[in-house]
């Protein structure tokens, strides 16, 4: 047997093993990318949730409109201001 025959035999024997090794390397890279994307998505969700929580807290602490209590009367004439009054726009 010549050297060419031995090399050809080794190449033929390695064919069943090469595709799984290549596939394993590619899947490792894909898994790494999926992990990075999951971390980025988690960070974005935290970024979105922070202002949402802050808005919920503000809604609880800020009184609703009309819950401020009675409107005080004018000290000079005794009339009460209309809280719904708005100036006319031209």
Q: How far apart are CA 50 and CA 62, in angstroms?
A: 18
Q: How far apart are CA 90 and CA 82, in angstroms?
A: 21
Task: Note the pLDDT of residue 15.
Answer: 87
Q: How far apart are CA 69 and CA 89, in angstroms?
A: 28
Q: What is the pLDDT of residues 22-68, one digit of tens each?
A: 899 999 999 999 999 999 999 999 999 999 999 888 888 876 665 55
Q: How far apart are CA 6 and CA 58, in angstroms?
A: 79
Please tell me which residue, 64 or 2, carries the higher pLDDT value.
Answer: 2
Please tell me which residue, 64 or 4, carries the higher pLDDT value.
Answer: 4
Task: Note the pLDDT of residue 8.
Answer: 92
Domain ranges (residues) in the chain: 3-61
Please give the structure tokens belonging to residue 78: 């005794």
pTM of the model: 0.47
Those residues with Cβ within 8 angstroms of residue 79's Cβ, 6 or more apart along the chain or in another chain:
73
Task: Note the pLDDT of residue 36.
Answer: 97
């Amino acid at each position: 047997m010549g050297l060419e025959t031995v090399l050809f035999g080794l190449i033929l024997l390695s064919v069943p093993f090469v595709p799984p090794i290549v596939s394993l390397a590619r899947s490792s890279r894909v898994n790494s990318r999926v992990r990075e994307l999951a971390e980025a998505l988690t960070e974005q969700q935290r970024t979105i949730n922070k202002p949402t929580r802050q808005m919920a807290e503000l809604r609880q602490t800020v009184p609703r409109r009309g819950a401020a209590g009675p409107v005080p009367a004018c000290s000079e004439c005794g009339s009460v201001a209309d809280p719904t009054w708005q100036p006319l726009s031209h």
